[in-house]
A and B are shown apart, each in its own frame.
Chain A
C-alpha cells in the first residue's frame, strides 16, 4: 500500500515554519517514514509541472505556510487546494495573514517604493524595480505580481485546518500530523490548538492580581521586568488573555510578553479589538484626559494588537487605501 502523500509549501513567510518541521527532530524521521513527501521546495527539488501532473485530491494534505500576497502564491494555493484532500494553513501567516499582513496598512506602491527606493539600506540609484515582464537576450522572464491586499490562506482557498503559531511549536505540529495520519481529525475548520486563552497555561498566571487597573502602559524595553510576574501586572501589554494557548507560554518563559501569534479563540471575531476592549476597560482614570494619557503608552495600537491578525481582522486592511 502506498504511503499517504504530503506536500509542504511556503508563500509569504519568513521560513520559520519550515524550521519547525525540522524542529520535529527525530520525530521527522517517523513522519518521513509514514508519508511520501511530494513537494517541499525548501528542502527538495520539485517542479510546478510535477504537482500539476498529479491527479486531483491525490495529496492527502498540504501544509501551507505564509500569507498570500502575490499572484504566484495564489496560483500555487489554488493548485495545491485542488490536488489535496486537506488544505492545512500552517503557521500564523497562513492562518491570520501574520506579520506580512501588517502590509495591509500601506499601498502596494508605498511598499515597493520603500523597498526599492527609500529604504535606508537601499543602494538603488537607478530606482530599478522588478518588472512583471522583461526582455533579456531574447528571453521573456515573467515575475509574479504583488497583490494589493495581503491575505490569509482561507481568504483565497478553502482551508480544512489551521495549525497556529509563529511558528507552530513542534508539539502542535506533531499533534496535527498525528491526527491527520491516524485519521482522528476534529471538525473541519478547527484550529489545532486548545480553544482557551494562553493565561490558562501561563506560568505567571498566579501573579496576576484580581484587581488590575492600568495607570500606564509600558513597552518591555522601558522597564526592568520582574521575571516571575504577570506582564499585565507590570503594565506591559500581553496578548495572552485574547490568544489561544498551545504554545506553552514560550515567549513568556523567554521573558517576553505574548504578541498573539496563535490568534483568537473561536468565540472572538477580532482578536485586536477584544484585547483592546479588555485592557482599556481596566484603565484607571475615568476622565478623557487621564484615559488619553494612559493609552498614549500604546503608540501603535494596530501593530500591537494586530501583530499577526490584521489581514483576518474585521476590516482586513486600511480601508481608505486605493487598490492601486
Chain B
C-alpha cells in the first residue's frame, strides 16, 4: 500500500506485454509488430513480447520490470481475462503494485482463434491493446473485500452423485442439506439391476451409501422437497426449500409399513412410479423396499381420505370419508397426519452442489419404434425394473402378457446421435445395452439382437466388458433400426418385426422378435430450465448445466459457489458421476476451508457531494443496495449488497454514481482506444 501511496503523483509508466501463447496467438497476430506499435503510445515505458506470459518467467518479467523500470501500470495482451486476469493481477501485486493497476487484453479467444487474416488480426490486436493503454492510466488502487463463507452446503438431488458428494462433505464435518424431489433418495441408480462393467448389483453398492446419508449426523435429508427460492451469493446463499406434505410425520414413522398392510385397499391398485408403472402400489406406500428415508407416503390423488382433485394452490382437501385403518394400524405412533401442509424452510449455505441428474428420452418422440403402441416395446429402464429381483416381476423376465420372450431386439441410440431428436451421444447406452443383453441371456434362453450404429465403449475395463459379453452369443448388427411393426403373419402373439439395414453386409434385415428394448438416451431434466434460472446458472444449447471451463473448471459454474455433479452437466456413467461428485465436493471444500471469498471490487458508490437525490437509481437495484438517506436527502449504496452490475451508474442522470473498475472515463478511454487510427 505504501508503494502505491508514494507513487500516486508520479507520471503514469506502463509496461506492456504481448503473449505468443506458444503459437496460439503468434500464428495469427504479429506479436512483434504489436509490441513495436504499443511502444510508440503515450506513457508506455516497456513493451515486450514473450512466448508464455502466464509462465513463471513471464510473470517474473513483469515483476522485474515493475521494480527496475518503476512501472506503475501493467497491460498484458494474451488470452481471455476470464482465464488469466487473476494470474496477472497476482504478478502485478507481487511486483509491488496494487493488482488493479493491471488491465488485460483478450487477443486469443477474441482474436487469433477466430480470425483468419493475419494482417487484420494484428491490427485488431493493436486497437485492443491501445484501448487498454488508454484505459489503464485511469485505474485506481482498489482493495479486494473478503466476505466470510458459511460452511454449510446445500446439495440438490439425491442420486448417486448427490449422495456421494453429501457423504464426502459430511464425513469431513460439514453440515449438509440434501434436498431430493422424490420421496426417497437413490435416483436412477436405485432402479438399475446390475451395473456395467463389473456387473455388481446396483442396489448392493448403493443402499449402504443411502443408509449412511439417512443416518449421518451431519446430513439433513429433505426428501419430497424442492428448492423454490435462492437469494444471495457465494458464501451466503439464502435458500428456501419447500417440503411437500407426505401426510406422514417423518419423526414419528418407524418405517414398519403396518399402514400399508392395513390400508382399506387390500390390493395394490395404482401405478407404481418407481417401477415405471409396471407394478402397482396402494395409496399409502413405501417408494421401494430400500427407500431412504424409510418412511411411508400417502398419495392424496388416490387416498380415500382426500377429496379428488387438487386445489388451485396445489393442496388437497381432507374428505374424512375413509375408515382410516392405516391410522388404526399406526396406533400410538401417531405418524399419520392428513392435515399436513407444505412447509417452507429457509436455510443459509455457503456453497451449493447441483446434482439434479437427467431424464431418459421419451421414445414416443420416435413413433416408428412403436413405444406406447405395441405393449412389447420397452425402454431399457423398464427392462431394468423387469429384470430386477425386487421389481414388479420379481426378476422374471416376462413381458406384459406374462410370457418369456424368445427373441429380443435391443435398439441402440434411441434419442441419441439423431438429427431429429438429440444430436449427442448419451455415452452409457452401448454399455448398458450390452449389460442388458448379458442379463437377458442370463435370465432366459432368448436370442438377443443388438442393433447399433457404432459400438462405443470407452473407459477403463469397458472394451474388455464388451469383448466378454459379445462372446456370450448375442447378435450384433451394425445398423440403425428404421422401423418396428407387428408381424403381419402372426398378429395374435404380438410379435414384432424389427427392420434395419445391416451396414456391414448391406442387407435389409427384417427380424421377428417378441420383445423390443429401446436404449433410450439421456436428456436434461424438463425442470432444468427452471432450476437454471433459480440458481442463475448457464445451460449449454442442449440444456445441460454449463461448466465454467471444460478442462480448467469442469465442475464449477459461472456462478461462484455453485458446483456441478453427475448427469445434470451431461451424460456420464456411474464411476464418472461419483468422481465428479467428489470433485465438486473438493471445490466446495476449498472455498469453505479458505473461510472467505474475495469479492471483485467492482461495486458502485454515490458521489455524496454531487448526488441531487433524484431517486432515479433506487428502483433500479435488484439487490436493494441503494437507499435514500432521509437525513442527507441523497442516495446511498450499501457496498456489501452491491454486486457490481453498473446499471445504476449508466442510469444516473447527473453522472454521480461511479463503478469501480468500470468508471465512465475508463470506458470512454477504451472506446477512444479501439477507434483510434492505426499506422498504415
Contacts and interface: CB of A to CB of B under 8 A. Distances in A.
Interface of A: 195-200, 205, 208-213, 240-242, 245, 264-265, 267-269, 274-275, 277-279, 281-282
Contact of A196 (B610, B615, B651, B652): B610
B613 A205 contact: yes
A281 to B, nearest CB: 4
B613 A282 contact: no
Nearest to B634: A200
B319 interface: no
Contacts of B633: 200, 205
B619 interface: yes
A48 to B, nearest CB: 41
A281 B610 CA distance: 21
A208 B654 CA distance: 17
Contact of A241 (B618, B628, B654): B654
B647 interface: yes
Contacts of B655: 264-265, 267-268, 274
Contacts of A205: 613, 633
B620 A196 contact: no
A265 B613 contact: no
A213 B438 CA distance: 66
Contacts of B668: 269
Interface of B: 607, 609-616, 618-620, 628, 633, 647, 650-656, 664, 668
Given A199-B615, A281-B616, 12 more contacts: A196-B609, A196-B656, A199-B612, A208-B614, A242-B653, A242-B654, A245-B612, A267-B664, A278-B652, A281-B650, A282-B620, A282-B651
Contacts of B610: 195-196, 265, 267
A220 B613 CA distance: 23
Given A196-B612, A245-B612, A265-B610, A212 B619 contact: yes
Task: Pick the 5 closest A-B CB pairs, nearest first.
Answer: A267-B655, A197-B612, A242-B653, A241-B614, A278-B653
Contacts of A196: 609-612, 654, 656
A212 B626 CA distance: 14
Contacts of B653: 197, 241-242, 268, 274-275, 277-278
Contacts of A267: 607, 610, 654-656, 664
B620 A197 contact: no
Given A197-B614, A267-B610, A213 B619 contact: yes
Contacts of A279: 616
B590 to A, nearest CB: 38
Contact of B615 (A198, A208, A265, A275): A208
A245 B653 CA distance: 13
A177 to B, nearest CB: 26
Contacts of B628: 210
A111 to B, nearest CB: 31
Contacts of B619: 210-213, 282
A269 B671 CA distance: 14
27 contacts: A195-B610, A196-B654, A197-B654, A199-B613, A199-B615, A200-B613, A200-B633, A205-B613, A208-B614, A209-B615, A210-B618, A212-B619, A213-B619, A241-B654, A265-B654, A267-B664, A268-B653, A268-B654, A275-B653, A277-B651, A278-B614, A278-B616, A278-B651, A278-B653, A281-B616, A281-B650, A282-B616
